[in-house]
Chains A and B, each alone.
Chain A
């Protein structure tokens, strides 16, 4: 036995550990976003420029007004929201699956951080990227069209809630994914079609009755329209319902992610 007197450890302040741990995950995620900015920020800017140039300027001229607005103005909130959705989701799924694949998720799993802090940290990282890309795409939109904010609080709330919901969705995807194919499967075959049919480029009032009814099953329709309402003051859905849906989705996804982490699904043997 060691001859030195062994000191008693100071009491562990769990709330301090949790707060600093949460901040560290967010800082690490932010560092990752900035370090690989060519993969995390730039592609959405290029895509937005292409959409505005082709759909807005070339095709949009022939489309005319949509919902009482110039077509470019009408699609701008949808394009911003589309990039927020894909980036929030993509950030968490890539980062957390990468951590699982490279085994450095163990750094977090052996630490005293409870699972809800880990989920919250990664989700906040996803929201952060969603907001950064959202701001960048908004700046691009302003080059092509005029955007006037009607309800700032609605814009911010819709942006954050949508981003949070899809960041948590990305976390669940990463938790279940066993290989890189499974990381890409949901974004390619679920998220992209839902986004395109979510009223980014058109108002659902243009659709035949059966298609309109079907569109109301698509959660992205509510998010895009709530966001559009914040900018333009028009929406195909009831904005209150849209926010209720977003809050409920975020809570359910967060609880599911934490529950699965507590069971060790996809991360512990």
Chain B
């Protein structure tokens, strides 16, 4: 039995905008699953339908076998959700918020108080438990929503942009925490703008664009399909024009920076040898974007991964860049 099974899910809003075009998606039990897509791709609508915040137009969704049409209460009891926007009562304390949320899932108050202590401590919010939530920082508010979603110990945890506004140190500890929860058996679906986050945490991935799933694969398989990487080389001396490197796509970004597209079959030593022969000294080198970001860009722009035919339904490059978190 899958944690989530979605068939032909369609959403047309009252203003006529079609956010989802018959989406099919399966997420296995115990998976750590990434759902990526540019802004407006339909991620939040999809999550909204699964969590019953949005009415679907057509299609079927099941959570651990429970249909959201016929067994909505049972389906919702399995889900914990961390939404993109802050949605707790700012005038209540973190402790009250999480204890009440447990109550909405039928957790008796004494048990809820114990769990509140456990999760608020794990998410480093215990010291803030009795203050007004409005006074929490952006990162703390987001962690509070994670603690709240865990109070009924859901079998499926859906995180919609959990790291937005969270500093690097806290983000890393949050990743460890999520990994631990996943290892204990909780299925996790993650949407994020930090593609490094998805690449680091998730085993399977779907990319949604224009309301359609344009890719669904294991993370490792998808990354293997990327045949070309772009390297940025910092040069000691200024160049007036890109150097002649037959067989490579070379761009001079500025007089000291060169970008070179390299196929996986090609040897980096060859590039360095040729540059050296031309008297060009390379001071340092880095990958232009992370690998997942490169694939993401290609898919949502409808270019397909290298070696594949371009796909239709691509989003504009700017939107894709925004979703990928690049300027």
Contacts and interface: CB of A to CB of B under 8 A. Distances in A.
A109 B52 contact: yes
Measured as residues with beta carbon below 8 angstroms from the partner, the interface class of chain A is: 35 or more
B78 A2 contact: no
Of the listed residues B89, B90, B96, the one surrounded by the most CB atoms of chain A closer than 10 A to its CB is: B89
Interface in A48-98: none
A107 B30 contact: no
Given A12-B74, A110-B76, A264-B55, A104 B87 contact: yes
Interface of A: 1-7, 9, 12-14, 16-21, 23-25, 27-28, 31, 35, 99, 102-104, 106-114, 264, 268-269
Interface of B: 13-14, 28-31, 48, 51-55, 64, 72-74, 76-79, 81, 83, 85-91, 96, 100-101, 103-108, 148, 155, 182-185, 203
A16 B102 CA distance: 13
Given A31-B96, A112-B72, 19 more contacts: A2-B183, A2-B185, A5-B185, A6-B29, A6-B30, A14-B73, A14-B74, A16-B106, A24-B100, A102-B90, A104-B87, A107-B101, A110-B81, A112-B74, A112-B76, A112-B105, A268-B52, A268-B53, A268-B54
A268 B148 CA distance: 21
B9 to A, nearest CB: 15
Contacts of A23: 103
B89 A111 contact: no
Nearest to A121: B104
Contacts of B86: 103
A44 B122 CA distance: 44
Centre residue among A5, A12, A103 by max chain B CB count within 10 A: A12
B29 A110 contact: no
Per DSSP, are chain B's interface residues mostly helix, strand or loop, or mixed? Answer: loop
B79 A17 contact: no
Contact of B89 (A20, A24, A102): A102
B182 A113 contact: no
B53 A106 contact: yes
A28 B100 contact: yes
Q: Which 4 A-B pairs have the closest CB atoms?
A: A24-B103, A17-B106, A111-B104, A2-B30
Contacts of B79: 110
A106 B185 contact: no
A24 B31 contact: no
Contacts of B104: 21, 24-25, 107-108, 111-113
A13 B183 contact: no
A103 B31 CA distance: 29
A189 B81 CA distance: 40
Contacts of B100: 24, 27-28, 107
Contacts of B89: 99, 102, 104
Contact of B88 (A1, A12, A19, A107): A107
Contact of A4 (B73, B77, B83, B184): B184
A115 to B, nearest CB: 10
A136 B88 CA distance: 32
A95 to B, nearest CB: 10
27 contacts: A1-B30, A2-B30, A4-B184, A4-B185, A6-B185, A9-B78, A12-B106, A17-B73, A21-B104, A21-B106, A24-B104, A27-B100, A28-B96, A31-B96, A102-B90, A104-B88, A107-B100, A107-B101, A107-B104, A109-B51, A109-B52, A110-B53, A111-B101, A112-B74, A112-B76, A112-B104, A112-B105
